[in-house]
Amino acid sequence: MNTLSPNEDIHTYLDRHQKKELLRFLTCGSVDDGKSTLIGRLLHDSKTIYEDQLAAVKRDSARMGTTGGAIDLALLTDGLKAEREQGITIDVAYRYFSTDRRKFIIADTPGHEQYTRNMATGASTCQLAIILIDARHGVVTQTRRHSYIVSLLGIKHVIVAVNKMDLVDYSQEVFSRIQDSYTGFVAKLGIPDVQFIPLSALKGDNVVDKSAAMPWYAGAPLLSHLETVHIASDQNLADLRFPVQYVIRPNLDFRGFAGTIASGIVHQGDEVVALPSGRQSRVKSLITAEGERKEAFAGQAVTVTLEDEIDFSRGDMLVLAQNGRPHQAHQIEAMVVWMSEAPFVAGRTYWIKHTTRMVTGEIAEIRHRVDVNTLEKRPATQLGLNEVGEVTLSLTQPITFDAYKANRATGAFIVVDRVTNNTVGAGMILEPAGRGDGAQWSSRPVESLRRREGAVTRTEREERLGQKALTVLLTGLTASGKSTLAAAVEKRLFEAGRTVLSLYGQNLRQGLSRDLGFSSDDRSENLRRSAEVAKILNEAGVIALCAFVAPHEAVRQRVRETIGQDRFVEVYLSAPVEVCRQRDPSGAYQAADAGRLAQFPGVSAVFEPPVHPDLVLPTHELSVDQCVEQVVKLIEERMKG
User: How confident is the model at residue 65, as a pLDDT?
Assistant: 54
Alpha carbon distances (Å) from 349 to 119, 138, 343, 360, 427: 26, 43, 13, 7, 15
Produce one character per residue of 405-427: b if its CB has 16 or more CB atoms within 10 Å, e if not.
Answer: bbbbbbbbbbbbeeeeeebbbbb
Does residue 52 share a domain with residue 118? yes
Q: Total structural domains in the chain?
A: 4
pLDDT of residue 144: 87
Mean per-residue pLDDT of the chain? 84
Note whether residue 212 is domain-resident.
yes
Q: Of the residues 320, 336, 357, which one is the last residue of a structural domain?
A: 320
Q: How far apart are CA 339 and CA 357, in angstroms?
A: 21
204 and 223 both lie in a single domain: yes
30 and 117: one domain? yes
The confidence score (pLDDT) of residue 360 equals 92
Domain enclosing residue 332, as ranges = 327-429
Residue 7's pLDDT is 59
Helices assigned H by DSSP within 49-193: 51-64, 81-86, 116-123, 141-152, 172-186
The pLDDT of residue 312: 80
**Does residue 94 carry a pLDDT above 90?**
no
Among 52-61, 79-88, 338-347, 533-542, the minimum mean pLDDT is found in: 79-88
Long-range CB contacts (< 8 A, 24+ apart) of 490-498? 490/545, 492/628, 492/632, 493/543, 493/632, 493/635, 496/632, 497/466, 498/465, 498/467, 498/543
Confidence band, pLDDT 50/70/90 cuts, at residue 20? confident
What is the model's pLDDT at position 405? 84
The whole-number average pLDDT for the span 200-213 is 92
Pairing of strands 291-293, 279-288: antiparallel
On whether both 472 and 515 belong to a single domain, the answer is yes
Domain boundary among 233, 258, 282: 233
- CA–CA gap between residue 410 and residue 401 (Å, rounded): 5
Residue 155 lies in a domain: yes
- 555 and 571, same domain (yes or no): yes
- One domain, residues 164 and 271: no
Residue 447 lies in a domain: no
Distance separating alpha carbons of residues 544 and 510, to the nearest angstrom: 19
Identify whether 454 is part of a domain: no
pLDDT digits (tens, 9 = 90+) for 557-578: 889 888 998 999 999 999 999 9
In a shared domain, residues 348 and 309: no
Please write down the HEC assignment for all residues of 585-606. Answer: CCCHHHHHHCCCCCCCECCCEC
Interval 158-174 mean pLDDT: 95
Residue 437 located in a structural domain: no
Structure confidence at residue 238 as a pLDDT band (50, 70, 90) = confident
Q: Of the ranges 205-209, 240-244, 550-554, which one carries the lowest mean pLDDT score?
A: 550-554
CA distance 577 to 478: 8
Which residue type is seen at 374?
A: T
What percentage of the chain has pLDDT greater than the value 90? 42
Split at pLDDT 50, 70, 90, the class of 343 is very high
Decide: pTM greater than 0.75: no
Q: How sure is the predictor about 536, in pLDDT bands with cuts at 50, 70 and 90?
A: very high
- Residue 189: predicted pLDDT: 84
In a domain? residue 3: no
Give the mean model confidence (pLDDT) for residues 509-529: 80
Neighbouring CB atoms inside 10 A of 275's CB total 19
Query: CB–CB of 272/280 below 8 Å?
Result: yes
What is the pLDDT confidence band of residue 541, given thresholds at 50, 70 and 90? Answer: very high
Same-domain check for residues 537 and 595: yes
Q: 295, 320, 345 — which closes off a domain?
A: 320
Give yes or no: residues 66 and 189 share one domain.
yes
Query: Do 254 and 305 meet the contact criterion of CB atoms below 8 Å apart?
Result: yes
Q: Residue 638 burial by CB count (10 A; 0-12/13-18/19+): exposed, middle or buried?
A: middle
Distance, CA of 462 to CA of 539 (rounded, Å): 9
Mean pLDDT to the nearest integer, 72-83? 51
Q: Are residues 64 and 149 in the same domain?
A: yes
Instruction: Say whether both 299 and 412 belong to one domain.
Output: no
Query: Nearest-CA neighbor of 572 among 615, 611, 601?
Result: 615
CATH of the domain at 581: 3.40.50.300
Given a cut of 50, whether residue 359 has pLDDT beyond it is yes
pLDDT at 89: 38
Instruction: Specify the pLDDT at position 85.
Output: 42
Q: Same structural domain for residues 288 and 228?
A: no
pLDDT grade for 345, boundaries at 50, 70 and 90: confident
Residue 2 lies in a domain: no
- What is the mean predicted confidence (pLDDT) over 42-67? 67
Evaluate if residue 641 carries a pLDDT over 80. no
Residue 354 sits in a domain whose CATH number is 2.40.30.10
Is residue 450 included in any domain, yes or no?
no
